[in-house]
Chain A
Amino acid sequence: MTGNLLSLAIWLPVVAGLVVLATGGDKNAPVARWLALIGALASFLVTIPLYTGFDSYHGGMQFEELKPWIEALNINYHLGVDGLSMFFVILNSFTTLMVVLAGWQVIEKRVAQYMAAFLIMSGLINGAFAALDAILFYVFFEAMLIPMYLIIGVWGGPRRVYASVKFFLYTLLGSLLTLVAFIYLYYQSGGSFDIASYHRLPLTMAAQTLLLVAFFFAFAVKVPMWPVHTWLPDAHVEAPTGGSMVLAAITLKLGAYGFLRFALPIAPDASREYAWVFVALSLVAVVYIGMVALVQTDMKKLVAYSSISHMGFVTLGFFMFGGVAGKELNAWAVEGALVQMISHGFVSAAMFFCIGVMYDRVHSRKIADYGGVANKMPIFAAFMMLFAMANSGLPATSGFAGEFMVVLGAVQVNFWYAVAAATTLIFGAAYTLWMYKRVIFGDVANENVAELKDVNAREFLVLAILAVAVLGMGLYPKPFTDVMHQSVNDLIWHVSQSKLPQLP
């Protein structure tokens, strides 16, 4: 069974989604919900052995599966995870479980379709993280857009059509270039779509640069990096709570993961050459977006901008070349970025869930429509305090570890990178806690707030699980980083080697 663990992680939620879909109309909604919960739980449980069975002394691919798929084109069904990708399969399945719980009573129309969309998407995302064949990756990467498009377009807010089309086109246009890149690599490598073979392929600087540009457009949009980020706030604002949770917690990570799996190892020389561009854009994201987040009047937009800012740390960490002659990636920064990715998965999901809890009651996301929520929802206020603090990067929450590591790495490379990055201590706290103050503190602001009821058992469960995750990872991040070391070290070594063709 362990031989097919990854296939299980991909297809179990897809099958579960199809089963849920088969329950049909809303008269069977309770059945759909329970089936979805069972499916999501089972899908999460099957990913646990990925961690427990992981050999952290081995940097290469594990749980590999290889079967021919389209033999004529040498496309294979090739799966595997290493220390860079393994956590995201688990995190994704975990988030899906949270989403099913989060949408339990909130979604009243087309329940089966809603749950099914998330389950199927979960499987597809797992596929993207586990794929070792470029075409397989591309298929999962693109297919995933469809359920998300539907989630925003069907269960979204009033401007859902604009948001979903913007989301779809933005991300689709970007990733089309990746397909071109893959086809180019296919011919260069003599007819292979094996990602590992691309890693070994010598490429001229010109080729590497073009490839990097192609990957940039695909993955920078997904992350999203400044200035291709404007789809995210719109998508979040219109998406239902569950959609925002997955979007922030997982799909953004897919973009960052793309840099790690494709851009850096396939085009290391170009990455090194143009690292300053990535660093500059990342720092702009941290500072510029931090300020933009400060003045948002819509809670979801605020948290969306905060996500962009936090993801800036991830891309910053990935392109931090230092060491001898600036050839080596900085291990602190890379691992910090990975930790930040996982942590942001918990924290952003929690923040969006918190906003969802309030939205379900008041039907507004405007900060101005709230005030004094703590008077009526003390338990909720306490949880949200924790997540707000995690979003501000308070030590002992997961939000701290990643940012701390990236800043520590940045100081080693360039002091001013660290100065710009560390402003997040101020901006992050300012926009998060200022929002918290206006929403949660104060006297009861209006009748809507006066009628609020504190969290119910289901909401409490979701909040508590996320709180445990945030605190657990903050107090003891070592289990997370220990399994990354070998893969990160391999990556650093690989990227430090030039791939320019040797002149005879």
Chain B
Amino acid sequence: MDMKSIYLLIPLAPLAGALISGLLGWVIGRRAAHCVTIAGVATAFGLSAYVLNYLLNGGAPFNGTVYTWLTVNGVDLNVGFLVDNLTAMMMCVVTFVSLMVHIYTIGYMHEDPGYQRFFSYISLFTFSMLMLVMSNNFVQLFFGWEAVGLVSYLLIGFWFKRPTATFANLKAFLVNRVGDFGFLLGIGLVLAHFGTLDYAEVFAKLPELQNATISIIPGTSWSLMTVTCILLFIGAMGKSAQFPLHVWLPDSMEGPTPISALIHAATMVTAGIFMVSRMSPMFELSETALNFVLVIGAITALFMGFLGIIQNDIKRVVAYSTLSQLGYMTVALGASAYSVAVFHLMTHAFFKALLFLAAGSVIMGMHHDQDIRNMGGLRKYMPITWITSLIGSLALIGTPFLSGFYSKDSIILAVEASKLPGAGFAYFAVIAGVFVTAFYSFRMYFLVFHGKEQWMQKKDDHHVHGHDDHDHHHGLGPNDKPHESPWVVTLPLALLAIPSLLIGAYAIGPMLAGDFFKNVIFVNHEAHGAMEVVAEHAHDWVHMGLHSFMTLPFWLALGGVVAAYVFYMVNPAIPAAFDRFFTSIGIKKLMEEKYYMDHLYINVFAAGGRALGTLLWKVGDTLLIDGLVVNGSAKLVGLFASLTRRLQSGYIYHYAFAMILGALLLLTIWLGGVLQVQ
């Protein structure tokens, strides 16, 4: 089989699974539905691993067209693949996490009536995501971009009976569309000035256009690269949930937990990071755009982390953590450390998928109670979930030698070395973020797995209604105890724990110091030297790990863990005191209201749009156009007709009178003319 067929088969295998499960699910039944989709994704994963191996052993990257979608004015818009190391890595991450989630879903969704539909969607998602990462041009990128958005929409609203779920999915789609609005205009500028939408052709033309200017507002001159890159990045802000377009991600937790892990943590939300890395030759040409990226990322990394501290819903803690980590990746992009961003994307995909799936396992153990204040002491009842959660949390906070450590420390190194104007703020944000991350992660960890078994007391009280339930049971019953999940759930946890532990140490050398991304990611080292600093550290993972014990991030992370332990295990009076303090100065409210961003969107933009729409409709269409002009002229005609009708009275003397009047009039005109001539 030639490589092109393999590349074709990789996205088509999950698509086939999705179609069979989706269209014929009612015929083939549940078991066959999960078998066929898992087979499809497993095929994709196996082949992706083969492709990565092939490329690592000197195989040639592939850049070719599958078919021409459209030709206009001599420009071909194609469906085609670009498979190089970056793509191959993404393919492996996507298909591996997807495979884990597919297996996990057997256990998680086994009671759900929409079982086949769910498998169909997640396989369809895998197809869309693969199309996105494998694309060799902007059109297909946009296709994948919107297609993953569609599946995300369908999955957030999977339990479509719940008002909260259908609110969340509409919100997610619309906020993403705001990002896509910028993205589409960016693509438009690329076509308008480069005359092509093929990556390779665009990059080849960069040297001649790097100093091009356009006049967006007549009389002013803007750098083409800056405008284009910022517009493209606005797309990334939507998809990768960067401030201020982040508001959809916490609400997306309304979807079933497996998709939170797959879509809203590991893969789709990182599409923006991937896209910017892919476009590195363009972003390198605009300091302004990079600075914009850097600052947006820093804001997201720090301020979304803060919100993680006050969440009590287990999934929302992980969701805010995801936002914050996406901010870290974006910061790395801004610092021109694209490979670091992608590296963090990869490690994060594993440990965050792990954390989400573990959270799902806890939710199942707790009979769909998601409030961490009702948990506690679960380590005894759910040992596998406990251990894997601990691994995931340690990886997330950047414990030396674990995967998250290597990627996060590299980001901090890169920001430290960046010379952009926003780098000072960004450095502060990522350093402070280390403490915050450790604190909220271990707050959750301790409250869930250690300490008092809060659910013992809760049993007699009414059961708090969880978000992630199946409508018929919520919380533990009077005689229930938390229970470990079945093997289909714990196996993916274990399999994800392995890369969460090891992949950082294994991959940092080739990815950050070696030439894994050679010819794929372009950095202008003279202007942006951050990558070189990172590479110095990255070539020796042992040394980097040992060295970290003497650096600030390690102690900040440790401080966060200790603080969380003291606050929530030793002396709960301390957080209570903090709570009172922050309440008194209004910050608690600000955080509970999520910085009032939702208010802004709902009360200003959404409500404003509806109000304006009503105004235009009632006043513009109904009153002015229809009332005044259309029906008005109809009435005018009617009025005229009623007048003329009166003239046609039928009395002969009326007509005679009119005739004489007319004759006199004509005579006057004629005489006037005659007299004038004379």
Contact = CB atoms under 8 A, between A and B. Distances in A.
A498 to B, nearest CB: 23
Contact of B185 (A394, A405, A419, A441): A419
Contact of A292 (B70, B216, B613, B630): B613
A292 B611 CA distance: 10
A214 B256 CA distance: 58
A238 to B, nearest CB: 15
Interface stretch (A119-127, A175-183, A474-482): A474-482
A50 B323 CA distance: 55
Contacts of A227: 625, 629
B70 A291 contact: no
A493 B157 CA distance: 50
B126 to A, nearest CB: 16
Contacts of A288: 616, 620
Interface string A480-492: 0110010000000
A426 B174 contact: yes
Given A395-B146, A425-B181, A230 B70 contact: no
A405 B77 CA distance: 11
B72 to A, nearest CB: 5
A263 interface: no
Interface in A247-297: 288, 291-296
B381 interface: no
B610 A394 contact: no
A291 B71 contact: no
B382 interface: no
B205 to A, nearest CB: 16
Interface stretch (A29-37, A131-139, A348-356, A427-435): A427-435
A337 to B, nearest CB: 12
B192 A411 contact: yes
B71 A478 contact: yes
B142 A395 contact: yes
Contact of B170 (A407, A437, A475): A437
Given A170-B630, A422-B185, A425-B184, A291 B613 contact: yes
Given A332-B73, A426-B178, A476-B69, A442 B160 contact: yes
**Interface size classification for chain B:** 35 or more
A478 B69 CA distance: 6
B612 interface: yes
Given A295-B617, A374-B160, A331 B181 contact: no
A389 B188 contact: no
Contacts of A418: 185, 188
Contacts of B620: 288, 292
A375 interface: yes
A395 B147 contact: yes
Contacts of B70: 401, 405, 477-478, 481
Interface in B169-185: 170, 173-174, 177-178, 180-181, 184-185
Contact of B73 (A331, A419, A430, A442): A331
A360 interface: no
B283 to A, nearest CB: 20
Contact of B72 (A335, A400, A430): A335
A430 B157 CA distance: 16
B69 A477 contact: yes
Contacts of A295: 610, 613-614, 617
B646 interface: no
Interface string B211-236: 00010100000000000000000000
B150 A415 contact: no
A444 B658 CA distance: 71
Interface string A433-466: 1100100111100000000000000000000000
B456 interface: no
B67 interface: yes
A429 B188 contact: no
Contacts of B441: none
B174 A430 contact: yes
Contact of A294 (B170, B609, B625): B609
Interface in B618-676: 620-621, 625-626, 629-630, 634
Interface string A366-400: 00000010110000000001000100001110001
A412 B191 contact: yes
B232 to A, nearest CB: 13
A412 B613 CA distance: 30
B191 A482 contact: no
Contacts of B613: 291-295
Interface in A197-228: 227
Interface string B139-164: 10011001100100110010011010
B249 to A, nearest CB: 18
Contacts of A374: 160
Given A294-B609, A429-B177, A410 B188 contact: yes
A408 interface: yes
Contacts of A481: 70-72
Given A288-B620, A481-B72, A433 B610 contact: no
Interface string B373-412: 0000000000000000000000000000000000000000
B134 to A, nearest CB: 15
A416 B296 CA distance: 25
A237 to B, nearest CB: 13
B678 interface: no
A405 B214 CA distance: 21
Given A291-B616, A332-B73, A418-B188, A476 B67 contact: yes
Nearest to B197: A408
Contacts of B173: 429, 433
Interface in B183-204: 184-185, 187-189, 191-192
B21 interface: no
B166 interface: yes
Contacts of A440: 160
Contacts of A365: none
A332 B139 CA distance: 14
Nearest to B189: A411
B163 A442 contact: yes
- Between B163, B181, B185, the greatest number of chain A beta carbons within 10 A of the residue's beta carbon is seen for B185
Nearest to B142: A395
Interface of B: 67-73, 139, 142-143, 146-147, 150, 153-154, 157, 160-161, 163, 166, 170, 173-174, 177-178, 180-181, 184-185, 187-189, 191-192, 214, 216, 609-610, 612-614, 616-617, 620-621, 625-626, 629-630, 634
Which 7 residue pairs of A and B lie closest in terms of their CB atoms, listed nearest first? A411-B188, A291-B613, A295-B613, A395-B143, A441-B166, A331-B73, A441-B160
5 contacts: A396-B147, A404-B139, A412-B192, A415-B216, A478-B69
Given A372-B161, A411-B185, 18 more contacts: A288-B616, A294-B610, A296-B617, A335-B72, A374-B160, A394-B150, A395-B146, A395-B147, A396-B143, A404-B184, A405-B72, A408-B187, A408-B192, A422-B181, A422-B184, A430-B177, A437-B170, A441-B166
